[in-house]
């Protein structure tokens, strides 16, 4: 917990028993963990994160340590329905089928088609959305990402060194 990825505002290195998090809304439907950060999603689509994400995987910019669960401000007007975390990147699915990603992008795991190494705030994968490709599911591997569209087709991107992307 030295990076506050547990959402507990203290300086302990770890917690060996479950500790209730009280500084977050009661309507959390899912949580996911990255390397040093954690994401949480509420029933109404708000996204909260805590911890350290040097790569921006927690959505609050790079090199920021968030010491307790905090709403990601750039997503306030978006209804997110699902979240997942890789090692240092995160993927979010919006109700309208759009995918948002953030974090380390050194293998293209954010799917933005750029050589930018770090995506510090949530960014939509416009190449899919602009083609009217709507997603219904998402998941992250350590350094790759997959999604399923409304027609049950699988898309994958990122690090494919051992063919984990299926290419």
pLDDT at residue 82, rounded to an integer = 98
The whole-model pTM stands at 0.88
What single-letter DSSP state applies at residue 151? Answer: T
State pLDDT tens for residues 71-123: 999 999 999 999 999 999 999 999 999 999 999 999 999 999 987 899 999 99
Mean pLDDT of 147-154: 97
Q: What is the mean pLDDT of the chain?
A: 87
**Does residue 151 or residue 12 have the better pLDDT?**
151
């Amino acid at each position: 917990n030295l990076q506050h990825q547990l959402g507990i505002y203290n300086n302990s290195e770890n917690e060996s028993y479950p500790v209730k998090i009280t500084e977050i809304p009661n309507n959390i439907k899912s949580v996911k963990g990255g390397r040093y950060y954690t994401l949480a999603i509420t029933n109404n689509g708000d996204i909260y994160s805590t911890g350290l994400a040097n790569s921006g995987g927690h959505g609050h910019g790079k090199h920021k340590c968030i010491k307790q669960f905090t709403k990601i401000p750039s997503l306030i007007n978006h209804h997110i329905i699902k979240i997942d975390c890789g090692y240092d990147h995160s993927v979010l699915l919006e109700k309208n089928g759009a995918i948002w990603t953030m974090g380390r992008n050194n293998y293209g795991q954010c799917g933005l088609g750029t050589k930018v190494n770090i995506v510090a705030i949530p960014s939509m994968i416009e190449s899919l959305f602009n083609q009217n490709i709507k997603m219904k599911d998402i998941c992250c591997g350590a350094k790759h990402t997959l999604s399923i569209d409304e027609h049950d087709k699988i898309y994958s991107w990122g690090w494919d060194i051992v063919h984990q992307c299926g290419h």
